[in-house]
Each structure stands twice: as structure tokens, then as C-alpha cells.
Structure 1
Amino acid sequence: MSNNNKKIVSSPELATLSYTTPERLVQDFACRGIVILSPDSLDIPLETHERIYQQEKQAMNDRKPITPSSIPDVLTVINSPGLVRACDQLVGKNWAIVPFTHNASFTSGSNDQHWHKDDNGPYNSRKQRHHQSIQIEMLYYPQAVREDMGPTATIPYSHYWTFNHEEDHDNFAGADHLDFNYQLSRMEAQPVSGPNSKYEIEDIVNRRTEHDIRMKSAVTDLNWPLVDSLEAAPLRAGSIVLYSHNTFHRGNHRRDDWETWKDNPRFMWRFWLYRTNEPPIRIRESNEKSVPSVDWPSLGIDPLTGVDLSSVDDDLTAVWNYHYHWIHTGKGQPSTNGTAGENEVERKKKVDLLANQITKKGNSAEPARIGAAYRLANMDDTNLAIEALGQALYNERESVRRAATYGLAAAGPSATEFLLAAAQSQIKWVRKASIYALGDASHLNESVLEVIINCLENDPSVYVRSVAAGALGCLGRRAAGTNDGQSLIPQCLEALIQSLEREENRLAMDRAQQRSIKFVRPTDDCDVCEGNGIDFGRDRFKPVRSAVRENVLWSMVILCSQGAEVIENILEPTIKTLKTVIETDENVICVGFAMDALARLANIQSTSENIPMVNQLKKDLVNILKSSPIHSWEALVRSGLSREALAEFEAKA
């Protein structure tokens, strides 16, 4: 029955959700994967948010694009002292923003999205998911958000668990779907509220529609510990939600009077942030106190979600402990899963129990599998643990291999020897997992570099080559942060530059296969989803993509963030290569990354001022950037360009 002639009375303003305090920021992010920053914590004038909101409303009414370049006050939010402090803690200094990736305003309305984890690469391209705090999402709300205004729905505590996505073609594209049939049945296209809804007003307001029930059941049917849906509201104007890029979430329908939507739109800006620097070295110095452990059960009721943590088990706390310590130190906690004093039989029995747990079947067993892998990684008998994790990596089931992969990454450098051998396996999935784990945990040395460069140059799998490209950035980042292997960073860059000379863009899969990106399939030329074809209506660009080229340039952003001194004799070809991409590449995502990398070379490291080539780059930068018809302001402002410089640049362009 249509509700066209009925009115919904908006709910009164309620107390806001529990905002995250600075002292609990890392702790809460490590366990639940989502934190909320208050407007006051940003340390910018509160009237900034109202100004942004009014400018958005005007642009929407005038049917004009809403982007950071058209509403530059958004850049003030991105570089606000409070947000920078929080993100520095979670993803390190000089964090970057993925360019041209939905970095604009979203409005809520009559329809729901399905539950999903966002594509880990731009526009539905698939990229290896990091458990470590490498990539997070930022949601910014310039206006107050009531509970009935379609607040973003999330599933806290879901960010370490997922479903098969390498051999399950429901998840071939970049996003991981919780209920893919919701899309297949076209429920996503049906309005839940508004003038065309089939539902009664009372059912909409009280969350009793078929859509609401379907969304709720999708979460409860998981049978994962602690998970339940959380709608991000009520929020004050200027609030920011930060969550792991692996958190399940969805867009939500409004439940208030649809006739008020035009005058009272709910806007949300979304940005993808990623790490370019390791956690601070000072915490790893010998004279520093060790990071105190968290007694998770003693935390009791989580103030944001209301979840009772008093009964969390060892599988959960093993994962949380690792990431809590990693965000602080760049490595996992010291071993607490000890076998010292136990005889060989007892140690083997303990390992075998966890090894069997990794092979549990069913989606509901995902936390048990992942938990067992992290518990093995934390054992002091590393040889036995890595042997068990290594056997799991060769298991025929992807869910078991996934747990083993994250366990081997959590084991750190002690797993390097095994991973180097596994990276040369005849099995594609084993090679891919091993290269990823080397990138996330090993030290940069000659042996590691040789194996990864060989995969980047010669592996027949596009997916494996793309992961190898990303691994070089992670290894170089770690080498610069720890000063262990830093002299090899120029070789990483040289390999990346050579890869750009070999790899080519391809017509995007949705265009080539003439179907939605959600339903594309691997081809003889490419075994990974490279994402939608996008050109932003500019003749310069074509609807082409390349997973390898884009990951190469993602890594170059990371390495260029370390400064020209680190790059040494590869500086000139690096500048030349990035300049060529900016001026000639038909893939707009590649161009966005290249602009960011080049701007970082020019702006971020103040000690580069005495290098003539860098000084010349600073003089030439604006003219180089002008060769592209569009620019990602949000990425460039994080690369060190000021708002004033951007405005001057746009005027010259």
C-alpha cells in the first residue's frame, strides 16, 4: 500500500552516540573497527560545517557537481588538526587519500544498499585486504543526523571476518557481499520509504518492512561473536566516522517525512585513507616502555555499541591484541601463547588443536579459523606454529588459506623463509598469499626483493603481479620506518618503474563484457576484477583499467612519501615516469596516483630542500599537474599543497 498521502512525524533530537575519546581511539579501533570523532575534537570553527552544508544544498538545487574543488571548505576538514591527529594514530603520518574514488557527497533517500565491504581498490577493483591498519574509510557529516534520516548502517566487530572471495564469483568484483541475493532479487532497487514505497508508514518507522527484516536477518544469521548492526546516529553536525576498510556497512533509507527531504537533505562525504608511513619508531626504541596490554573482558559494556565484552574468548583477543600492538609498534605483541616448559608431545598437541580449528567449515566458523591462526602466530614455538600455518596455506579450501595467510603475516619475519619458498609454488593462490604476507610482515632484504620482483615481472597471473606491486610499497614503507633495508628502496622503485613500461591498461571488464561490474567474470587476459571503466566525460581519458599499474602507482605514492634522500639515484627516472603518466596515461586512476606521488616528492620532506632536482620540481609542479584536465584536490591537499596553492592552480588551469 502506498504511503503517498500519509505523513511521518520526525523523531525528536536524541542524545548523540558515544564519541570516541583520544585515550581509547586505538583500542576501540583495534577491536570493533569503528570510531566516531566529535565536531569539537576537530579543532576547527563549528560554523565551517554549516557553511559546507549550505553550499552543498545550493549546488544540489542548482544541479551542479558536489566535489571538494567546488566546496573547498571540505579540505579544511580533511586537514583539521583533530582529524589529522586521530588518523596519524590509526594509519600513520602523512596518510594519503585514494584519488577520484567516490570522494564526494552521498545523500540518503528512499532505498537501501545491501551489506558489503567496499571494494578495496577504486571503483570495484579487487585488491588484497589488509587486516593491519593500512586502509580506512572516513565519513564526514556536515549536518546533524537524526536516527530517522538514513544514517549509515555498520556492523562493528566484523572487520576481521569475511567470505570466500577468490573462488566465489558472487564476490569476484572488489566488494565482499553479505547477502548477494538481495541484489539479484532486485530488492535494492525497490524504495523502502518515500512517495513510491509499498510499505505502511508504521512499518517504515518501526523497522518492520521486508527490507528491514532482511537486513537484520543477514546479520544475525552470521552467528559471529558480538556482531550486530549499528546505525551511525544521532550525530552532531561535523561528526566524522572512521572505520576499517573491511567493515561491513550499507547505505540506509530515510524514515522521516519524505516531503522534507529536499529542504533537509542528509549529506555524507566519503574518503578512502591509506598508510604511507610505519607506526612511530620511537615506541620501538629500547628506552621506551612496552605497550601495555589490554584486559579486554574487563572493559565491560562497549559505550558505542552496548556490546558486553566480558565474555570475549581467546580467539577474539588474539586478533585484537595483535592489531592493538601493531598500530602502536608495527609488530605484534610479545608471545603470550607460550609452550615453554612443555614437552614435545604437549607442544605438538596444542598446535594440532589450533591447526584443526583452522579447518572448521562454514561461514559461522570464520572467527574461529582466524582466531586459531593468530593464536598460532603468537606461540613462542615458532617452528611448530609456522609448520601448521604453512600446511593450512596449501589447503584446498579458500577459507582455510585465508586464515593461514593472516596468521603467517602476524607471525612476522620468522615466517619469511617459508613464504619465500611458497611464493614459488605452482599454485596461484599460494603464490598470491605468500607475496602478500611477505609485504605485510617481512624485512626488506635481497632475498625477499628478488622473489617479489620476479613475481612482478614474470608471474602469469595479473592478480599475483598486482599483489607483488603492492608488496613493494609495504616493504619500502617498513624499511624506511625501521631503517632496516632502506638502501634497497631505490631498487623497489626501479622495479615499479619497469613494470609500468611493461603493463598495459585494458578496456574495463564491465565495458568489455557488457554487463554490470557485479557480474563480470575472469578472462584469459585477466584473473582479477580490475574495476569499472571511468573517464569522467573527458576525452583525454578512456574507460580502461589495470590492477598492476594502479597498484604500482599506489606503492610509488608510499615510497615518494619517504623523501628524495631515500630514493637516491632513482630520483630522476621516478620524476620522469610520474610526469609521463600524468601527461599521457588514459587511466584516470593512474593519473591521480601519479599526481599525488609527484606532489609528495616536492612537498612532504623538508630535508629535500637542498636537492636541486626537488627544487626544480617544486617550480614545475603546477604546470605538470595542469596537463591533466581534472585533479583530485583531496589527495593533493594531503600531499602538501595548500588550499591557496590549489586555488591558484585552478585559476591557472
Structure 2
Amino acid sequence: MNALSDKQMVDFITNGYLVLQNELPDALHQSVMRQIDFAVQEEGNPGNNILPRVPDIAKFFETPVVKGALTSVLGPDYYMHPHRHMHYNQPGNQAPGGGQWHKDGYWSSMRSHRPWWVMMFYYTQDITEEMGPTAIMPGSQYSEKLPGGKTVLPTGKAGTIALVHFDLWHKASLNTSNVDRYMLKFQFVRLREPVSPSWNHVDPAVEFPADRPDARLNLWQDTWQWLLGNAGKPAAAGAQRKTADAHRHPAGVQRQADVAELEARLSDGDAVVRSRAADALGLLGEAAAGSAGRLRGLVQEASAEDAGLNAAYALGRMGAPGQQVLLELLSSGSKTASQRAAYGLQAAGAAAVPGLVEALRQSGENGRGLAAFVLGMNGAGASSAVPALIAAFEDESEWVRRNAVEALGMIGEPAALAVPALVRALREAVEGEARDGAVSGSSDAYAANQTYIANKIGYSAALSLLRIGRSGDPALVVSGLQAGLESRDRYARAYAFEALTALRTEEAVSLLIRHYRTARWCPDTHKASMF
């Protein structure tokens, strides 16, 4: 298995993508291309069924390069998501400039800065810029709004792969060649929070590119520490000092700049200067806690997204004063400010859990939902919040309930409380489909457009059981997953299948066999075949 290096992991955290190369026989790629071409031309795009329609595609994702990269970013027990798509870019089939910049529809209730999800763009043929590869915008994965900046068009021979952070802005570029361009988009999800590095980690004091206009040193360090299994903890002193010094120097601040100088820069007319000043204050940690009030104003700025997000992460590093500001914004700030505050509280780690539990009980709908989201992102460090999250299953807001259900799967323990609650949630969600005659919808401001998830509570409960079901009573879990197999939500059914496969008890296997008999796919059956 070809594990990623420290440098590649830093590149992925900061840029949001890596270009890799699968070394496979040309004959395999050509065979897959012929099968895809036949399916697309004769039957239409198979969508989610591209893998069973062309089973040889699975060989692309079993190589040391692919398994090493996915394990490095997602841990050893990642899951290939059932949503897959074959992108077909014909010559000249777009307006000048190509498609529209976008982020893919996401699968959680909110987008996560930490890499719980990734995508792979796989090219089955030699790909050139003229053929219209998917354009990506480096570093844009943390931006809610399209930030602007340089564009990268990954190219290379057949087997070229772009491993991308799930939330990276991307688009189809214009195909100016005379060749049909195919690209396989597959998605993968992490099942457990990191407890140790899963890549080839050798450097205890890596450095991040502090001289970039979009530098986010506190955010990047938070992601790095989380991937190391040190969620909520500051970087090693040596590494933090290096990045702090480097961050101040490009902005023209003296190497020994004090808090007052940095705080003054929070009012600079240049948003980049404000952003860097907020980041540098965060790297000083509690020593800069007196700046919490000034940073609060920056978090509330609607237009300067980089500065606002950096301010939120900085507050998350300033101990109790910073956490208090973030909790207030979480509960009573605008949607933009409260969402940024949630990400900042994620960086605060376990110390923020008591305040988040209080927000889960006392805030308005937006604050309650965000509190549940952050508790889940804090993983095992939020285990004391499990009873409060279970109580939130009765919340009047579907969005709050869904966040609480997903959070239990990320926290994991105590499984004796979490697993029965999730089984109950899955059963009740599926029963609601039959009782109400329709699957549930959602009007919340974050996920109202997730029409591809038909039963959001059932979907999230099945995903959480996929994550932690093995820690519960097998018979109880199987009974819940059996209900999940009956859901109208295709992704809830897929998660239930996978969770039963992970259990591998006699009862689970028997249930799987019964359902697989009607789910089997014949890849050779198509409209031109007779038998």
C-alpha cells in the first residue's frame, strides 16, 4: 500500500486535492472504456449502477496507490459510497468556458472542514487540457462562496486520479478536442475519527504555507492535529512557533510583534491583512484572549469570508474567553456568524462540550442544530454529551434531530446508550414512511436542497449504525438494520447492507443473503441481449 507522505497530506489539507497515477495495464483501461461506451451509447448513463454495470471498474480502486491514498486521508476502514457517476464530456457540448463552478451536494447535514468525505475523479483514458478535464480551484474547499483564484486542470495518461476534498469547488471545463472524455466520480466516507496517523508520518513539526493570501493556519493545524488523533490540541511548540513567525513576517509585522499590533491590524482596510492578523492571534492562543471581543466583530463580517473564518478558529484557541464569544454567536448570531462559530468551537475541543450541551438544550433551532453538529465533530471527546443528544431525538426540528443522530455515530461511546437509540430512530423513521405515505422532507436552511436523501433521519441513523453498530448488541442492531433494508431511501438501504456485512453474525448473513437474491445484478444484461 502506497501511503501518502507528510508533504502530500499538507498539500491535501491546504490545496484540497492531490493528483495521483494508477499504474495499470492499458488493456484494462481500454476494456473498461469499451464497456462504458457501449452502456452510455446504447442505454444511457448508468448513474449509481455504473459499478455493477462495468464490474472491472472495481479494479481501479483496489490498487496500492488508491488504497494507500484513501487510507491515509480516511483511515483504514473507509467506505465506498453507493453514489457514483460517470461524467461524459463530449466535444463542444458546453458554453464557452465550460460548466458552472459548484460544490457537490453533500451527505451530512453540514459541510465539514475535516475530511470525513473525499471524492476521486478517475480518468480511464489519456487526458489533456483540450479534452476538458474537471477543473478544480485549489484551496477553495473551506469557502462557502466561490472565492476566485487559479484553476488547475489535472492531466496525464490513463489512470490519472484527482483525489479531492469533498467540498472543493470544481466544474467541467470545455472539451475543445474531437474526443469524447469520460471521467468516473466515486465518493468515499470515513467511518471513525482518527486515533493515530494513517499515512507515512515522520515529521513532528511540519510547516504550512504561511505566505498565501488565503492562509488559514489555525484551520489547517486543527485538521492536521485531528488527523494525528490529537483533536482539539495545539500543534507541537516548535511547529507552532515556526508557522506563527512565518505568518507575521510576510504581512510586514515585526518578528516580535505583540498582541496590540496584531489587534490593530484587525481594522485594516485590506481583508487579507485582517485575515492574517486574526490567524496570528489564534496561534498565540490564550495569550491573545484579550482580543476576543475584537475578533467577534470579524466573525460577524458578512463579506470577508477568509477573515471571518480565521477569526472563528482563532477564538477556538483562546480558552474560555474565546469559547464564550463563540457560544454566544452560535446561539444568537446571523446564519453566517453562527456557522463560523460552530467551526471555531470544533477547534476548541472537549473544553467546549459543556457549553455546547447547554446550547443544545436552550438555544433556538439554529443554535441547537449547530451545537449537535459540533458535538459530533468532537468525537470521543464529547462522550459526556451522549444523553443530551439522545434527548434531542425528540426535538421538534428535523434538522436538530438529524444532527443529533449523526453525532452519535461520530462519538461512538458509550455504545450501550448510543446504539439502542440509533436502532429506535431508524425503526421509527422507516415506520413513518409507511404511516405517512411519504418519506420525510426538510425545510431547514442548510439541507433543504438535499432531495437525493429521501428520509434524512433514517439515512443518518443507518450511517451512524454503519459506524458504530459493531459495538452494540448484535441481535438488536440486526433488527434495526432489517428495518433499514425496507426504507424507501436507497442510501439508507445501502448503509444497512454494509452495516450487516460488517457485523457478519449468522443472523446478519442470513438476512443479507435473503436480500441479495433480489438485488443481484447481471452486468451482461442490456436492451440488446435476449437472455
Superposed, 1:539-618 pairs within 5 Å as 545-560=454-469, 564=470, 566-567=471-472, 570-582=473-485, 584-602=486-504, 614-615=505-506, 617-618=508-509
Change (3 A) 1:530 1:397: closer
> Where does residue 350 of structure 1 map in the other structure?
291
List per-residue Cα deviations over 1:463-516 (Å, max 9, x = no partner): 11111111111111xxxxxxxx4xx11321111111123225669xxx999xxx
2:190 is the alignment partner of 1:275: yes
- TM-aligned CA deviation for residue 84 of structure 1: 0.9
Superposed, 1:143-158 pairs within 5 Å as 143-158=125-140
- TM-aligned CA deviation for residue 48 of structure 1: 2.4
Instruction: Report which structure shows greater RCO (CA 8 Å, sep ≥6).
Output: 1
Give the aligned length: 466
More helix by share: 2
Contact 1:138/1:270 (<8 A) preserved: yes
Counterpart Cα distance in 1 of 2:351 and 2:203 = 21
2:353 is the alignment partner of 1:416: yes
- Residue identity matched to 2:322: A
> Where does residue 143 of structure 2 map in the other structure?
161
Counterpart Cα distance in 2 of 1:371 and 1:447 = 28
Contact 1:93/1:276 (<8 A) preserved: no
SS in 2 for 1:25: helix
Change (3 A) 1:384 1:475: same
2:231 is the alignment partner of 1:331: yes
Superposed, 1:368-407 pairs within 5 Å as 368-379=307-318, 382-407=319-344
> Where does residue 49 of structure 1 map in the other structure?
29
Change (3 A) 1:46 1:24: farther
List per-residue Cα deviations over 1:163-186 (Å, max 9, x = no partner): 4xxxxxxxxxxxxxx5xxxxxxxx
2:181 is the alignment partner of 1:266: yes
Counterpart Cα distance in 2 of 1:76 and 1:530 = 34
Contact 1:553/1:594 (<8 A) preserved: yes
Change (3 A) 1:529 1:626: farther
Counterpart Cα distance in 1 of 2:287 and 2:350 = 26
List per-residue Cα deviations over 1:360-399 (Å, max 9, x = no partner): 231xx111111111122223xx111211212222343111
SS in 1 for 2:321: helix
Contact 2:289/2:322 (<8 A) preserved: no
TM-score (norm 1): 0.65
Superposed, 1:461-476 pairs within 5 Å as 461-476=397-412
> Where does residue 649 of structure 1 map in the other structure?
none
- Residue identity matched to 1:230: V
> Where does residue 647 of structure 1 map in the other structure?
none
Of 550-559 and 20-29, the range deviating more from structure 2: 20-29
2:515 is the alignment partner of 1:624: yes
Alignment match of 1:296 (pick from 202, 206, 209): 209
Alignment match of 2:105 (pick from 119, 127, 144): 119
Counterpart Cα distance in 1 of 2:61 and 2:497 = 18
List per-residue Cα deviations over 1:617-643 (Å, max 9, x = no partner): 346533332244779x9xxxxxxxxxx
TM-score (norm 2): 0.79
Contact 1:506/1:545 (<8 A) preserved: no
SS in 2 for 1:273: strand
What runs of 5+ residues in structure 2 fail to find an aligned partner?
A: 245-257, 261-285, 524-531
> Where does residue 392 of structure 2 map in the other structure?
455
2:16 is the alignment partner of 1:36: no
> Where does residue 269 of structure 2 map in the other structure?
none
SS in 2 for 1:57: helix
> Where does residue 220 of structure 2 map in the other structure?
320
- Residue identity matched to 1:266: R
- TM-aligned CA deviation for residue 141 of structure 1: 0.9
- Please give the root-mean-square deviation of Cα atoms over the aligned residues, in Å: 3.4
- TM-aligned CA deviation for residue 317 of structure 1: 1.5
SS in 2 for 1:116: coil
SS in 2 for 1:268: strand
SS in 2 for 1:415: helix
- TM-aligned CA deviation for residue 250 of structure 1: 1.6
Superposed, 1:529-540 pairs within 5 Å as 529=448, 531-532=450-451
Change (3 A) 1:241 1:332: farther
- TM-aligned CA deviation for residue 587 of structure 1: 2.4
List per-residue Cα deviations over 1:581-629 (Å, max 9, x = no partner): 32x3222222111111111222xxxxxxxxxxx2453465333322447
- TM-aligned CA deviation for residue 322 of structure 1: 1.5
Contact 1:331/1:412 (<8 A) preserved: yes
Contact 1:579/1:624 (<8 A) preserved: no
List per-residue Cα deviations over 1:292-328 (Å, max 9, x = no partner): 231424xxxxxxxxxxxx3457x61221122122222
Counterpart Cα distance in 1 of 2:467 and 2:194 = 14
Counterpart Cα distance in 1 of 2:501 and 2:419 = 16
Superposed, 1:214-225 pairs within 5 Å as 220=148
Change (3 A) 1:295 1:545: closer
> Where does residue 251 of structure 1 map in the other structure?
172
> Where does residue 65 of structure 2 map in the other structure?
82
SS in 2 for 1:69: helix
- TM-aligned CA deviation for residue 47 of structure 1: 3.5
> Where does residue 360 of structure 1 map in the other structure?
301
Counterpart Cα distance in 2 of 1:75 and 1:378 = 43
Contact 1:392/1:400 (<8 A) preserved: yes
